[in-house]
Structure 1
Amino acid sequence: MGMARRACAVRVIALLAVLVGARSCVLADTPPNHRRWGLWRPRLIAGVRSNVRDSAMFGIGWQGEGAVRSALRMCADDGSNGVQFGYVRHDGRAYAQQVIVDAQLQIKMNMDWILVEHKTRDHLPAFAWVLRITGEHIETEQDLRSASGASYVSLFLTAASGADEDDIEGQEEEPHVLSEIECTGHSSDVCIQGQSGRSVSALTPYKLMYKQPTYGTPPTLSFAARPPKLAYPEHIVSTWDASISALLVAKDASKHSKGPRRDLSQPVTVLGAWAREQQFASEQHVLRYMKDDGSGVRTLHADDPEAVDSCADARTCSVAVVQRVLERDFRVEIVFSEFAFDDELLVSLCGAALDERIERARRAFDDRFHAVFRGIAQNYKAGSTETRMATYALSNLLGGFGFFHGSSWVERENTEIATSTDAGIEPKNKLETREVAQVLGQDGKLAALTPQNFFTATPSRVVFPRGFLWDEGFHQLVVLQWDTQLALESLMSWLGVIRSSGWIPREQVLGFEARAAFPKHISHLMIQNPSVANPPTMLMPWQVLARRCHNMHQGTKENSLDRVHPEQDATCSAATWEHVANALGLHLRWLDTNQRTRDASAYQWKGRNERHRPQNGRNPFTWASGLDDYPRARVPSAQEKHLDLHTWMVWAHSAMVTITSLAGHSESSVDALKRRADELKSMMETQFGGGSDRHGLLFDLDRDGAQIEHVGYVSLFPLMLGVLPHDSPRVGAALAAMQDPEQLWSVAGIRSLSKSDDYYLKGDQYWTGPVWIPINYLLLGALHNKYAAYPGPYRERARALYDDLRRTIVTNMARNFEQQSTLFENYNDRTGDGQKGRLFTGWSSLIVLIMAEEYEGLIV
C-alpha cells in the first residue's frame, strides 16, 4: 500500500461541539464574581459548562472511519467499546489532565484543561479556559501488517432548541443563538461567538477558538468524510445514536408528564450550522458549511423531520459543529474566553506559554497532594502503584462533580406505607403546594417538584452520573481533606433540596441529561417517594466542618480549617451554622418521625414491599437502607425493626450536638439531643438484644419480635458507628466474626454477609457477600478511633485487626488498579477482583483516606 493511501487510512476527525443555551445548571443565585467554568458534565468523557443557568456547554467526542468503523465515543460508558479513560490529575477547580486509550482505533489521547481568571479591556473579571488534546498513534503488530483504520476526534459546538423542562413554570424563552461563525480556509483558526446565561440582563458573551492543529493535518485525502447527524427520527439514526441521543435530544422517560417531551422516536427541531475542513486528493482545501450533501446548513422541523432548510447565515442557528481531519499523531488547542480575546491573553494560553502553564499545574497538583495527604507520602513511594491509585481516586472523584438543573419526580401518595403509629405520631410526608410545579398523569398521583439548581459529586461517571444522598456523605469526607470550600458548595447545595417536611429525595435525577443516563430497566426508581429515607451520612462531613470550626475558634491548629480558602471566616460564622443546624435538624426530625415502627418503639426503613424482590432471593429489597438486597424479614410489616437505622439514629443525634452547639442553640436544646441519643443507645440492648445470643451480636427483628440472624454488615453497625462501649462483650463477638474466614474475613476486606449464611451470594449478589469500601472504611475508623485507642479487653485484637484489614484492602485494590487502571463499585470476596460498576471513584475513593489514615467525623 502506497504512502498516500496509508496517510488516507490514518486520520482523525476532530469535531468541536458546544451546547449553547441548554437549560441545566445550578446556583443561579451565585454572585457574578463566583461564576466559573468547570468539567461539570459527568455523563461526558470531557464536558465543560459554567455554574449559571442556560450555560454554554461543551463536549468532546471522536469516531473512526476506514477499515475500522466505529460509533461516536463521547459518553462515559463501561469500556465495552475498548475505550479506557480517567483523570490522572484533577484539582477540582482550575486544572485537569485526562488520559484516554482507544484500543480499537489504536490511539491514545492526552487532554489538559486549564482555567484562567483574567480581566477584560474594561477591567471586568472574566474567565478563560484552554483545552489541549494530543493524540498518539498506538502501533500494533496488526497495524504494521496493514492499514487498520482511521480515527475521528469530534469536538462540537451545539445547542438544543425548543422547550426545556424549566417551561413547567410557564417561562417560555427563545433559545440563545450563535452570533457568528468565522470559517476562513484550510488549517485556519475557527472562531465561534455566542452568549451564555439565563436572562438577557445576565448574558455573558463569549468567544471560542478552535485553533489550527499544531501538527497532524494530513497532506491529502481521497474522500470527503461524512459527519454524524445531530438528531432525527429513530429509524434513520446513524451509528452514533446511542451516544449522542442522550446529549442532544435528551430523552424524557416519564409516561405521565403532560409537559413538553423530546424523544428520538418523535420529530425534533434542531437548528444546526455545520462546518468542516474538506481536503481532497486534488489538494484543494476548503472549509465549508454542509447539508446532508456536504454544502450547507440543515434544520430539522417538528412537523417534517426530513425537511431541509438552509439558514442564510449562522446568526439564526443555535447549533454549530467544527470538524477537522487529522492524523492519529496530532495536537490541537481549543481556547475559550468570556467577552472577547485580546492578543495578550490568546498568546498566554497557547503554544509554548501553555506548555509552561501545564507543567506548573502538574507540579502544583503533585506537591499539594503529598502535602495534604502526608500519611500517603510517608508510607508509599512516589510513583508506586498505591500512590498512582490514590491520585487517580481523588482526581476522578473531583472530575465526577456535576451541575444540574431540573425537577425531581415524586409520588404524591403511597397507600402501601403506613402514615401513622399506634402511639399517635403522625409522620409529615405531604408535599406543600408551593413545592409542586406540575401534577403529572391523569390520576394526579405523581408530581414534578419545583426545578432546582444542584451541584454534587457523583458515584461514577459511567453508571451513576447523578447525585445520591447515601453516597454523598462519604464523597465529601474525601473532598473536605482536599478543598473545604468546594465541599461546602456541594453540601450547601444538598441542604437546598431538603423539602419543607425535612425529606430529601435519595436520588437527584435533575434535568434531561441525568434522566437520559438513568437505566431503563429500573426507570421506576426515578420516581421518588416522600416517605422513603436514606442513611444520614450527610452529617459526617458536616460534623468534620463543625469540629474544625470549633478548633479554629479555640485556637487549636490541629484539624482546624487550615485547608480552606479565605472564606473560612464566613464558613465558621454563627449565621452559617444557624442555617446548617436548622436544615439538618429538620431532616433529623423527619427521620425520627417518619421512620418509626407502628408501636413507635424503634425504627424501620419505609418502602419495603412484596412486589420488589431480587430474582434470586426471597427477601424484598430495602433500597432505603442503601444495602438493597441484604436479607431482612421475609414478610415486610409495620412492626419489623431495623438495627442499622436504629444505630444511625443514635449516631445522628450525637452528631447534631456539635453542630447545634456551634450554631449557638440554647443549652436546653443541645441537652435534649444528648438525652435522646442516650435514650436510643440504652434502648438498643433491650430492643435488639433478645434471642439465643449464640453469635453475641445484635440483629434485626421481624414482626413477631424474633431476631433475624444474619451475621454481616447490619449486625456490625453498632460497632462501626462507635455506639458499643469499648469494653462491651459484643465488641469481642464482632471482632471474632470479622476475623473468621468462614464468616466475614476475605481476601478483599470484610464481606457484606457471612460465608456461612444460607443467603450468602443469593439475591442480586450485591450486598450478600461482596466487599464494599465505604463499610470497611467505617469499620477501620471505629477500630482506629475507639476500640484500638482506648484501654480495654479488646484493644490489642482491635489494633491487630485494624492493621490486617487496612493492609488487605490497600493491597487488593492496588492489584486491581495495576491490572485494570480503575476502581470498582465493590470487590469479589472470593477472588478479590473488582466488579459491578467501573470508574467507581465515588465512595471507593475512600481508599485515599484509608491510605492516609484519616478518619475524621466518624465517631461522636
Structure 2
Amino acid sequence: MMYSSSFRQTNTNPARQRKKNININGEFRSQKEEKPPVPFQKENKNKKRMAISKLLINISIGLCIFSLVWFFYALYMRSALSRRAVTLHPSPRLLDAKSTSAAVSPERFWGSYRPHIYFGMKTRSPRSVVTGLMWMSQISQSDVNLRHTCEQGDGLSSYGWLIHDGVNFGMQQIQDTDFTLTTTFVKRMGGKHGGDWTWRITGKQSNTASEAPIISLMFYVATDTQGYLQPHIEDKTHLSHVTGTSEELGDFKITFNKPTSEDTATDKYASYNYLQTLSPGLDQLTDIVKNSLSHRFVFSPSTAEKRSYIAVDTYTPPPQKDNRIQGDFVVHQVTVQVPFQIEVLFESGSFHDRPNQLKGSVLTEELTRLELSYSEKFEEAFRLQAKEFTPDQVRFGKAALSNMLGGMGYFFGQSMVQSNYDEHPIFYPEAALFTAVPSRSFFPRGFLWDEGFHQLLISKWDPQVTREAVAHWLDLMNMEGWIPREQILGDEALSMVPSQFVVQHTENANPPAFFLVLEEILEQLETHPDAPQLQDTLPFLRRLYPRLQTWFDWYNTTQAGPLPNSYRWRGRDKDTNHFLNPKTLTSGLEDYPRASHPSEDERHVDLYCWMVLASRIMTSIAQLLGEPHQKYEHTYQTLSNNSLLSEFHWSKRFQAFCDYGNHTQDVFLQQEKVFVPAEQMNHELPAKRLVRLVHKAPKLQYVNALGYVSLFPFLLQVLTPDSQKLEYILKDIRDPARLWTPYGLRSLSHSDPMYMRRNTEHDAPYWRGAIRMNINYLALRALHHYSRIEGPYQEMAADLYQELRTNVINNIYKQYQETGYIWEQYKDSTGRGQGSHPFTGWSALIVLIMAEEY
C-alpha cells in the first residue's frame, strides 16, 4: 500500500523531485535525483559569446588594419603616380646641360632667339643677358606708340626677316606708319664666349609720309637674375657704352655708335637719353620703359624748329613682395630724324686677337659675303631658279624660310601640369627648349605637333638644327612617355598666354608629327649616306631610340579606343552645354566636327592613321639600329590593313572615312532663357549666353563630317594605290561643292552642316572651312606619292597634284605681295589671308611645295 500510495503520490505530484536509493557502504539511502547544474550551462554560453565577440573584434581590428594599410598604400600609389607625371624619362638625356654653351656650340651661342620681340638677341643659356630694340615715333606730346613685343594690334604694314641663315646673320624689314626700319645683325666668331656681333639699324621715310618723321630708338640690355651691367655716360645724357659680366659671357662691352646719314659717315643730329634701373623680370621691360617716359625734353636741331619729345627719364622700382633677385636694366635712347643709320657693337672680353671692329665698311663687306653665300645655299637646297620661278618669287621663298629660321627661340622654365593623381596643378622640372614657333605675334612658343611640320622645312636647310630641336623636345618626355603639348617656359612666354591654356594635362596627347621628321631623316640617310652634315645622324637615332619606344607605347596605350587596334583622342571639352561641338584641342584640329556627345565609344580616324605612320617609322628605325622590330612591324601590318581601317572608319552611307561615336547633327546654339523673379526685375539682369539645344537624341554612328579628318588615310598614305576608296577621296578633293577651291583645299566641305558655323558665341570657326597649309602640304605630298606609283588612279593623282600645287603657290604669293604677310589660314571663298600674322610656322612649308621636296 505504501508503495502504491507512494507511487500515486509521485505520479500525482510530478513537480516534486523523485528519490533514489543509493547503496553507500552496504546501506541504502534515499536521495533526491539531481538535474545538470544550471550555472555550468550559462558558463558555456558565455564562453561561446565571448569567443564570438573576440572573433568579431579581431575581424574588425583586422579590417581596420587592412583599411589603414590600403589607405596608406593608395596614398603612396597616388603620390608615386603623381611623381611619375613630373619625373623625366630615365634614359640618358639626348643633350647635356652644356650642349648649347659657348664652349660646345660657339657658332650658335648668340642668336635672334627672342621671336616674340621685333628685334633682339640672347644666348642659348638659361639666364641669358638679353638685348633688344624698342622704338616710337615722336608724333605728338600725348601719343606714346611704343613698339617692342610683336603685337597684331600695332597695325604694322609688314615685318619679317628677308634673309636669315639661322647662324651668322639676318636682315629684317619693318614697315611702320610713315617710315621703314631695316634691322640687321652679323656675328663673328672669336674668343671663348661666342664672339662678337654688330647691329645695323637703318631708317627710311615711307613714300606716303608728308615729312621726314622723328623717331626714338631705345636699345637696351638686361640681365636675368645673374650678372651685372655698368653704364658709361658722356655729356650727362649720352650713354656711350655699357660694360658687364655674366657667368655665360664673361666680360663684355656694348658700344652705341652715333647715328649717321644713310650710306655715309656724316653724323646726324640726335638727342640722347638713358635709363638705368632694376627689373623684377624680363616680362616687365616694356612697362618699365612706359612708366619712365617724360614729356619734358626738347629736340632742337640747328636746321629746324625746336619741338618737344618723349623720352625715358626716371623710374623707381616698386618694393619687392618676395625675395626674388632683380636684374639690371639699361636703356639707351636715340631720337633722330629719318633717314639715318645706327650701329651697335657687342664685343666679347675673351676675343683678344680681334683684327678690327665689325662696323662700317667692314660690316658692309661681311654682309655682302654672307648674302651671296646664303643665296647659293638656298638655290642648292631648293632650286627655285632652276624651276623658273621669278626673282620676286625666289625672294618670297627666301623670306618664308628666313622667317622660320628667325623664329627659332630658346626658352627656359617650368611647365604647369595637371595629372589625374593631383588635386592641383604642379610644376614640371625646369627645362630648356630650342624650337621654332608658329607665329611671333600670337603663338611665340613651342607647340608639339607644329614643330614636326617646322622641322620638315628646317631639315632641308640645316639637319643639325633639326636634330637639336628634336632632341630638346624629346628630352622633355616624362617617364610615362608624355610630352607637354604646349611649352610655356619663362616669365616672358607666360605673360603672353591666357590663363586657361597654361596648365597641360598629362593624359592629353598631340599628333606625333615628329614621325614625319624622322621619316625625312631616314630618307636623307638612304639618299645621301656619306653627306658630312648627316654623319651624326645614326648615333643620334641610337640615343633617341629608347625615348621613341616609350613615346610610341604611351600613345598606343593611353590613346587606345574602345575596340582592339582602335584609337581615341583624350581631352575633349567636357562642358557640352556651351559648345556647338565640343572641341578636341589635343588632335590639333581644335573645333573640327567630331561626335556631338563625347564618350568612351569614340574612334578617331586621324589618330588611327598617325599610329600607322608611327609604327612604320618605328619598324624602320629598329631595323636600322639592329634592334628587335617585330612588335612594331606587327602593329604596322595590323593597322595598315585597309580592311581593318574600313571596318572601323569607312561609312558606306557617306562614302567617306569618318570618326565614330555618340552623335547627332540636330544641334543648335540659341540664347538661353533666364528666369528672373518679379522682385528682382528692377535689378541688373544676368547676361544671357548661347547654349546648345539638341533636337534629336544622339546615337552611336559614323560622324558625317567631310573634311581634313576624312582625308587622313590618304594624307598619311595608308591607302594602297589600288584602293577604290582612294578614288572616292580624289573625287571629293576635286569637287568645288566639297573641298576644292582655286586657293587650296578647304578644311571642311562647303556642303557640311557645320561649315563656317561658330562653336560658341565667342569662338569663330577655326577648322570649319578655312584653308590650312600643313594639310595642303600633306595633300600635295600624298598626291605626289600616288602619282609616282603604278595604280588605277595614278594619272588622276598627277593631274590633281599639278593643279593644286599651282593654286596654293599662286595664292600665298599673291597674299604676301598684297598684305606683306604669310598667314595662319586663308579664306576659302576669296583666298584672303586671315587669322594670326605673320604665321611663318607651317605656312612656310610653301617653300617645300615650290621646291617639290616632300
TM bracket (short chain): 0.7 to 0.9
Structure 2 match to 1:485: 464
Structure 1 match to 2:112: 39
User: Partner amino acid for 1:547?
Assistant: E
Q: Name the CA distance, whole Å, in 1 between partners of 2:557 and 2:268.
A: 72
Q: Name the CA distance, whole Å, in 1 between partners of 2:511 and 2:818.
A: 33
Change (3 A) 1:731 1:624: same
Decide which of 378, 399, 413 is 2:386's aligned counterpart: 378
Question: Which deviates the most, 655-664 or 463-472?
Answer: 655-664
Q: Cα distance, 1:212 vs. partner?
A: 2.0
Matches within 5 A, 1:111-130: 111-119=183-191, 124=192, 126-130=194-198
Decide which of 524, 540, 550 is 1:548's aligned counterpart: 524
Q: Cα distance, 1:710 vs. partner?
A: 1.3
Asked if 1:457 corresponds to 2:458, the answer is: no
**Secondary structure of 1:33's aligned partner:** coil
Q: Name the CA distance, whole Å, in 2 between partners of 1:505 and 1:153.
A: 38
Q: Name the CA distance, whole Å, in 2 between partners of 1:689 and 1:303.
A: 59
**Secondary structure of 2:412's aligned partner:** strand
For residues 65-87 of structure 1, what are the alpha-carbon distances to aligned partners after superposition, in whole Å with 9 as ceiling and x for unaligned? 24373321111122643352110
User: Partner amino acid for 1:248?
Assistant: Q
Structure 2 match to 1:362: 371
For residues 263-318 of structure 1, what are the alpha-carbon distances to aligned partners after superposition, in whole Å with 9 as ceiling and x for unaligned? x8xxx9x9x999999877598xxxxxxx9995xx754241699xxxxxxxxxx982
For residues 743-796 of structure 1, what are the alpha-carbon distances to aligned partners after superposition, in whole Å with 9 as ceiling and x for unaligned? 1101211111111111111133211111111111111111112x1112211111
User: Partner amino acid for 1:156?
Assistant: Y
Structure 2 match to 1:176: 227
Asked whether the 8 Å contact 2:204–2:339 carries over to 1, the reply is yes
Matches within 5 A, 1:186-197: 190-197=240-247
Decide which of 701, 708, 718 is 2:660's aligned counterpart: 701
User: Partner amino acid for 1:542?
Assistant: L
**Secondary structure of 2:343's aligned partner:** strand
For residues 430-475 of structure 1, what are the alpha-carbon distances to aligned partners after superposition, in whole Å with 9 as ceiling and x for unaligned? 7xxxxxxxxxxxx842101111011000001111000000100000
Asked if 1:137 corresponds to 2:205, the answer is: yes
Change (3 A) 1:487 1:601: closer
User: Partner amino acid for 1:300?
Assistant: P
Structure 2 match to 1:816: 815
Decide which of 388, 392, 396 is 2:395's aligned counterpart: 388
Question: Which deviates the most, 500-509 or 62-71?
Answer: 62-71
Asked whether the 8 Å contact 1:218–1:326 carries over to 2, the reply is no
Q: Kindly indicate whether structure 1 or structure 2 has the higher relative contact order, using CA contacts under 8 Å at least 6 residues apart.
A: 1
Q: Name the CA distance, whole Å, in 2 between partners of 1:690 and 1:114.
A: 55
Asked if 1:514 corresponds to 2:493, the answer is: yes
Q: Cα distance, 1:740 vs. partner?
A: 0.5
Q: Cα distance, 1:571 vs. partner?
A: 2.5
Q: Name the CA distance, whole Å, in 2 between partners of 1:837 and 1:828.
A: 13
For residues 200-231 of structure 1, what are the alpha-carbon distances to aligned partners after superposition, in whole Å with 9 as ceiling and x for unaligned? xx55221111112233899778xx88878979
Higher Cα radius of gyration: 2
Q: Name the CA distance, whole Å, in 2 between partners of 1:274 and 1:66.
A: 15
User: Partner amino acid for 1:143?
Assistant: S
Matched length: 700
Decide which of 740, 757, 767 is 2:735's aligned counterpart: 740
Matches within 5 A, 1:462-481: 462-481=441-460
Decide which of 532, 535, 539 is 1:569's aligned counterpart: 535
User: Partner amino acid for 2:772?
Assistant: W
Asked whether the 8 Å contact 2:615–2:635 carries over to 1, the reply is yes
Change (3 A) 1:219 1:603: closer
Asked whether the 8 Å contact 1:160–1:319 carries over to 2, the reply is no
Q: Cα distance, 1:662 vs. partner?
A: 2.4
**Secondary structure of 1:157's aligned partner:** strand
Structure 2 match to 1:758: 753
Question: Which deviates the most, 600-609 or 797-806?
Answer: 600-609
Matches within 5 A, 1:684-723: 684-685=644-645, 687-689=647-649, 691=651, 693-703=652-662, 705-723=700-718
Structure 2 match to 1:498: 477
Structure 2 match to 1:530: 506
Change (3 A) 1:536 1:101: same
Structure 2 match to 1:13: none
Asked if 1:728 corresponds to 2:728, the answer is: no
Q: Name the CA distance, whole Å, in 1 between partners of 2:618 and 2:418.
A: 30
User: Partner amino acid for 1:372?
Assistant: A
**Secondary structure of 2:520's aligned partner:** helix
Decide which of 253, 260, 276 is 1:214's aligned counterpart: 260
Query: With structure 2 as the length reference, what TM-score do the two structures score?
Result: 0.77
Change (3 A) 1:534 1:230: farther
Q: Name the CA distance, whole Å, in 2 between partners of 1:331 and 1:444.
A: 57
Structure 1 match to 2:696: none
User: Partner amino acid for 2:105?
Assistant: H
Asked whether the 8 Å contact 1:535–1:625 carries over to 2, the reply is yes
**Secondary structure of 1:214's aligned partner:** coil
Q: Cα distance, 1:547 vs. partner?
A: 3.1
Asked if 1:644 corresponds to 2:606, the answer is: yes
User: Partner amino acid for 1:776?
Assistant: N
Change (3 A) 1:66 1:708: closer
Where structure 1 has 5 or more consecutive residues not aligned to the other structure, the ranges are 1-24, 162-174, 234-244, 251-263, 284-290, 306-315, 414-429, 431-442, 552-557, 856-860
Change (3 A) 1:303 1:571: closer
Asked if 1:581 corresponds to 2:553, the answer is: no
Q: Name the CA distance, whole Å, in 2 between partners of 1:322 and 1:341.
A: 25
Q: Name the CA distance, whole Å, in 2 between partners of 1:49 and 1:85.
A: 20
Decide which of 196, 205, 217 is 1:153's aligned counterpart: 217
For residues 536-576 of structure 1, what are the alpha-carbon distances to aligned partners after superposition, in whole Å with 9 as ceiling and x for unaligned? 10111122213323x2xxxxxx44463x54xx323323xx3
Asked if 1:611 corresponds to 2:575, the answer is: yes
User: Partner amino acid for 1:743?
Assistant: R
Where structure 2 has 5 or more consecutive residues not aligned to the other structure, the ranges are 1-94, 303-309, 663-698
Decide which of 48, 53, 74 is 2:121's aligned counterpart: 48
Structure 2 match to 1:15: none
Q: Name the CA distance, whole Å, in 1 between partners of 2:589 and 2:780.
A: 19
Q: Name the CA distance, whole Å, in 2 between partners of 1:412 and 1:818.
A: 47
**Secondary structure of 1:459's aligned partner:** coil
User: Partner amino acid for 2:187?
Assistant: L
**Secondary structure of 1:98's aligned partner:** strand
Change (3 A) 1:27 1:605: same
User: Partner amino acid for 1:194?
Assistant: G
Q: Name the CA distance, whole Å, in 1 between partners of 2:474 and 2:704.
A: 37
Structure 1 match to 2:341: 331
Structure 2 match to 1:627: 589
Matches within 5 A, 1:234-245: none
Task: Tell me how large the CA RMSD over aligned residues is.
Answer: 3.2
Asked if 1:62 corresponds to 2:135, the answer is: yes
Asked whether the 8 Å contact 2:705–2:752 carries over to 1, the reply is yes
Asked whether the 8 Å contact 1:380–1:387 carries over to 2, the reply is no
**Secondary structure of 2:333's aligned partner:** strand
Change (3 A) 1:303 1:732: closer
Structure 1 match to 2:408: 401
Asked whether the 8 Å contact 1:749–1:776 carries over to 2, the reply is yes
**Secondary structure of 1:706's aligned partner:** strand
**Secondary structure of 2:261's aligned partner:** coil
Structure 1 match to 2:66: none
Question: Which deviates the most, 484-493 or 679-688?
Answer: 679-688
Q: Cα distance, 1:493 vs. partner?
A: 0.5
Identical positions, percent: 31
Structure 1 match to 2:418: 411
Q: Name the CA distance, whole Å, in 2 between partners of 1:631 and 1:274.
A: 50
Q: Name the CA distance, whole Å, in 2 between partners of 1:317 and 1:753.
A: 50
Question: Which deviates the most, 74-83 or 722-731?
Answer: 74-83
Q: Cα distance, 1:373 vs. partner?
A: 0.5
Q: Cα distance, 1:246 vs. partner?
A: 6.9
Q: Cα distance, 1:480 vs. partner?
A: 0.5
